Each structure stands twice: as structure tokens, then as C-alpha cells.
């Protein structure tokens, strides 16, 4: 026990040092390409972690993250048109996504399994149709439907965006760690295995599902709002596009669904593919879909699931767990 406490403290100090170093990247003159890669990495990582919370740990195959991202992006944009500073717009975007999650939880939680997945899949399409017809702010619009540029971004630098993305990415990591080691995490694990059995043991299945659903919507919305500050423009077709879902699922499944490290590893690969496939924009979704199917066939538990089954990984775990002399 005496050896475990200093080791835990040392691990925390190392993590804080890494975070501090990452935060200094824009100040110490790290190449712009690096900060751009990391900006996308941390934004996608927050979304992947939240989808992992739902699908990997709660048993909720939620296919509507695009609804949370699009709503948060539109809330941010509307707020800036009303004169609200963009940084408040980020928070309002996350809150709007969380409130929407509460609203749709009443009907979709009546569905189970594949029916829940299908029920959530149609939600972004409904919102896309609504925003194609509705002009939420009025005035000049751009492109198809209610497309708007985000206002009030004159003083926003790439460093600010990087720090916002870093913050939401790091928060998602520590939030996942906290949830999985809490009573909520244990309850979600029981629900994932068998919600009827969990209910018979006194677990409030609806409430725990709702908590995870709202938390995931909140952080996904915040990450989406940050990305729309970077884009500077939003319109219905891209805001509620299935490409968001493909990106998030790809990051989670590639790395390993139901593992803490999986979304981190998977998001690294997704960001690499994002730039690699940029020249093939018209067929990039097809290519990503083929990669996703291939991984699911060859390594159903993802990269981290495969690695965890290797003898080398098991030996490393034993070495780390061995008390210091």
C-alpha cells in the first residue's frame, strides 16, 4: 500500500505535466500543422469518448450524435447573431444538445436494441429537414436552407480554438475515468449486460440511461460547437450529416469499443485518415465504411481489444502492478 500511493501520485504528476506541455504548444512555436492535427484530435476524441460511454459501457447504440453536433452548432451561430460572445455560445450549444437529449429520451428509451438504434438514426434527418425549411435568425442566408456564417470571430485565434479543443478532450478523458469508477459506471455496466436483471436488483435503468445520454449529448455538443467556430459557417446538410456518425463510430470501433484507451488510439487513426482522404472527398465515406467493416471482421474488439489479448500486454500489466521494492 505504501508503494502504491506514491506511484499514483507520480502518474498524476506525469499526466498534468503532459497536459501543461500540450497547452504550451501554441506559445512555444510548434508548427501550425501540429496544432491543427491536435485540434481535430481532441475535438473528435471528446465525441468518441461520449459515444463509447453510450455504446461501449451503457449498451445504447446511439446513432444520433449528428443531432447534438448540429443543434449545438446552430445554437452557437444564433447566439452570435444575437450579439452573445462566441464562448458563451459554446456553453449554450452544449446545453441545447443536453436539453434535446432529455426531450427525445422519453420516446426513444421505449425502444430497445436495434429499434433504439433505428429510432435515433432518424433524428438527425428530421432536424435536417426542419432546418432546411426554417430560418432561425432571418436576414441574409448562404447556400441551401438556413445556412449562416458564425459572427463575432474577429478576435479568435487558432491558439484559442486549440485550447478549447484541448480542454474538452482532456475533460472527456477524466470524466470517463471518473464515471467508470463510480456508482453510475457500475450501474451502466449492469444495464449493458442485462437491463432486466439490473432492474430486478433495484437499479433505476431509465435514470442511469438518461444520465449517460445527457452527459454524452452535452460534451458532444460542446465539441461540435468548437468545431463550428473553426469552420465559421453552418448549414443543414453538413450539420446533420451522417459523416459525423461515421467518424465517431470509426474512432471508437477502430481503437476498441468498451475500453478507455480505445477512443484515443482510434481518434489518432481517424485524424490521419481525415487528411489522407481529403483529396478523395467524394468517396471518403465509402472508404471509411470499408475500413470500419474490415476492422469489425478482423478485430471485432478493436486495436486495444486485440492488444490486450497478447502475451506482451499481459506481461506489461504484471510488471506495472508489481509492488516496488
User: d(Cα 88, Cα 99) in Å, to the nearest integer?
Assistant: 16
pLDDT band for position 264 (cuts 50, 70, 90)? very high
320 has pLDDT over 70: no
Residue 126 pLDDT = 94
Task: Identify the DSSP state of 83.
Answer: T
179 has pLDDT over 90: yes
User: d(Cα 144, Cα 15) in Å, to the nearest integer?
Assistant: 45
Q: Who has greater pLDDT, 236 or 289? A: 236
Neighbours of 128 (CB within 10 A): 21
Residue 1 pLDDT = 43
User: d(Cα 70, Cα 124) in Å, to the nearest integer?
Assistant: 8
Confirm if 267 and 44 have CB atoms less than 8 A apart. yes
Q: Who has greater pLDDT, 64 or 133? A: 64
Q: pTM for the whole thing? A: 0.89
Q: Who has greater pLDDT, 290 or 218? A: 218
308 has pLDDT over 60: yes
Strand partners, 69: none
pLDDT band for position 324 (cuts 50, 70, 90)? very low
CA distances to 128, 155, 213, 256, 316 from 263, rounded to whole Å, are 27, 32, 18, 7, 21
User: d(Cα 314, Cα 311) in Å, to the nearest integer?
Assistant: 5
80 has pLDDT over 90: yes
User: d(Cα 230, Cα 159) in Å, to the nearest integer?
Assistant: 11
As a whole-number percent, the residues of the chain with pLDDT over 90 amount to 54
321 has pLDDT over 70: no
In the predicted model, what is the mean pLDDT of residues 258-264? 91
Domain chopping of the chain, boundaries: 1-30, 40-240, 246-325
In the predicted model, what is the mean pLDDT of residues 13-34? 91
Residue 325 pLDDT = 45
User: d(Cα 267, Cα 89) in Å, to the nearest integer?
Assistant: 26
Min mean pLDDT across 229-233, 249-253, 263-267, 275-279 is at 275-279
User: d(Cα 143, Cα 122) in Å, to the nearest integer?
Assistant: 23
Residues near 60 by Cβ (< 8 Å), separated by ≥ 6? 54, 116, 209, 212, 213
Residue 148: in which H helix or E strand, if any?
strand 148-149
322 sits in the region (left: phi over 0; alpha: psi -120 to 50; else beta) called beta
User: d(Cα 168, Cα 221) in Å, to the nearest integer?
Assistant: 10
> Quick one: which of 32, 33, 67 has its CA closest to 47?
67
Confirm if 137 and 78 have CB atoms less than 8 A apart. yes
Residue 200 pLDDT = 83
* pLDDT tens, position by position, 85-141: 999 999 999 999 999 999 999 999 988 888 999 999 999 999 998 888 877 776 555
Cβ density class 248-269: b for 16+ within 10 Å, e for less: bbbbbbbbbbbbbebbbbbbbb
177 has pLDDT over 80: yes
Residue 145 pLDDT = 63
Q: Which residue blocks in 154-301 are alpha helix, DSSP H?
A: 158-180, 183-193, 195-200, 205-231, 236-239, 242-255, 262-276, 284-298
User: d(Cα 109, Cα 204) in Å, to the nearest integer?
Assistant: 13
In the predicted model, what is the mean pLDDT of residues 260-266? 92
* 151: phi then psi, degrees, rounded to nearest 5: -95, 170
Residue 315 pLDDT = 55
Amino acid at each position: 500500500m505504501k508503494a502504491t500511493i506514491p506511484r499514483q501520485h507520480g502518474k498524476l504528476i506525469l499526466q498534468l505535466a503532459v497536459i501543461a506541455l500540450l497547452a504550451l504548444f501554441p506559445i512555444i512555436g510548434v508548427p501550425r500543422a501540429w496544432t491543427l492535427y491536435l485540434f481535430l484530435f481532441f475535438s473528435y476524441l471528446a465525441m468518441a469518448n461520449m459515444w463509447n460511454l453510450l455504446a461501449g459501457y451503457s449498451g445504447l447504440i446511439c446513432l444520433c450524435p449528428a443531432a447534438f453536433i448540429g443543434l449545438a452548432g446552430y445554437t452557437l451561430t444564433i447566439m452570435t447573431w444575437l450579439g452573445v460572445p462566441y464562448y458563451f455560445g459554446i456553453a449554450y450549444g452544449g446545453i441545447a444538445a443536453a436539453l434535446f437529449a432529455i426531450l427525445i429520451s422519453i420516446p426513444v428509451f421505449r425502444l430497445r436494441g436495434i429499434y433504439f438504434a433505428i429510432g435515433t438514426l432518424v433524428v438527425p434527418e428530421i432536424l435536417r429537414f426542419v432546418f432546411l425549411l426554417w430560418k432561425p435568425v432571418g436576414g441574409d442566408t448562404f447556400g441551401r436552407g438556413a445556412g449562416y456564417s458564425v459572427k463575432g470571430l474577429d478576435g479568435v485565434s487558432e491558439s484559442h480554438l486549440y485550447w478549447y479543443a484541448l480542454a474538452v478532450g482532456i475533460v472527456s478523458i477524466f470524466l470517463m475515468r471518473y464515471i467508470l469508477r463510480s456508482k453510475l459506471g457500475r450501474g451502466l455496466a449492469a444495464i449493458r449486460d442485462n437491463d432486466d436483471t439490473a432492474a430486478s436488483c433495484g437499479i433505476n435503468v431509465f435514470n442511469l440511461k438518461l444520465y449517460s445520454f445527457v452527459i454524452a449529448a452535452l460534451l458532444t455538443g460542446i465539441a461540435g460547437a468548437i468545431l463550428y467556430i473553426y469552420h465559421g459557417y453552418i448549414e443543414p446538410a453538413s450539420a446533420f450529416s451522417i459523416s459525423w456518425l461515421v467518424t465517431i463510430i470509426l474512432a471508437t470501433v477502430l481503437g476498441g469499443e468498451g475500453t478507455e484507451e480505445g477512443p484515443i488510439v482510434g481518434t489518432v487513426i481517424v485524424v490521419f485518415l481525415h487528411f489522407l482522404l481529403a483529396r478523395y472527398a467524394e468517396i471518403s465515406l465509402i472508404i471509411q465504411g470499408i475500413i470500419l467493416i474490415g476492422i469489425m471482421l478482423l478485430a471485432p474488439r478493436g486495436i486495444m481489444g486485440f492488444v490486450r489479448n497478447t502475451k506482451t500486454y499481459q506481461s506489461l500489466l504484471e510488471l506495472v502492478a508489481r509492488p516496488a521494492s
